[in-house]
Chain A
Amino acid sequence: MATQQHDSSVYEQVQASERFQELKRHFRAWTFPMTAAFLSWYLLYVVLSGWARDFMGIKVLGNINVGLILGLLQFVSTFWIARAYSRHAEKKLDPIADEIRHEIEGRPE
């Protein structure tokens, strides 16, 4: 379980590298807007539950109303985002992260 110690300058060099910046961009450009999106969508749902009760009570299918459908859609969107993130990470993040990790760990001390 020994953790290899590296000269900090190695990390600064890696941080400044094109490849690492690409990894960071792929990570942030996906997760930050998605976080903003799901939080807004969730808050919209809570706000509608507080201030648009007539709308939430409109029946769509038998006794199933808009509020219930929007709530179930929160489940659907959560499952979908989890899956989409997993795919994005496998395709865009893992290969670059593995490459950089192997490169640093292979460097002579």
Chain B
Amino acid sequence: MELKHIKNLSLIDNYLLGNLSEEQNQEFLLRLNSDEELRKEYAFVKNLPTALLENRSRRLRNKFSTWDIENSVNGSNDSRQLLFPWKKYMAIAACISLLIFVATMVEFNSEIDTASIFADNFSPYPSETVRGEESDKGYIFYSNRDYNKAISAFQKSKDESAKFFIGNSFLALNEPNRAISALNSYKGKKYKLAAQWYLALAHLQNNDSSAAKAILENLTLQKGAYGKKAFSLLQTI
């Protein structure tokens, strides 16, 4: 049964991607008329590329807005700044416009839920470089996105950073409560701000936007990338 579904899906994919010959195309269209299962499968998959594209565009737009804000908060020391001394004022204007724009978009998208904001903002923290130590196994599994094995390996490690990566792994596995517990237990300095950022995301994943907001508001007081990211994310909650 599963094999038939996989074959149907493969046929639909080839049709959508234009990989079928003229004859195969005709055959496919005829089968669509007579095969209800294929027709149902096609009705679902045919809109997937558009949905994926719109989804990716929205994620990218959010990123662009974050970069715009980062850029205008940072200012710039490069030569382009000297060529265009009024860039600073443009950047401020751009920043204000963006905030208005983001606020408007939030109104337009009253449906926005914490799960989607989480999905737009979460990507696991990059793995540490392997150094030939016991905890390395965890980082190898983590880099390979094998988060269950990574957690088992990290749990055997005495390295404080392992707790941070356990938190990230649970987030990637969609287990916010266990992520929150792991991130709260992390007491190291190395990932202190990053841990707060991921803790906020874990609360978002858990549908608890007020807990996420409280953490993000604290983070905005910090200098550096996480302060800016927190500022930007707060505009969308």
On whether the two chains bind one another, the answer is no
| A residues lining the B interface (CB < 8 Å) | none
| B residues lining the A interface (CB < 8 Å) | none
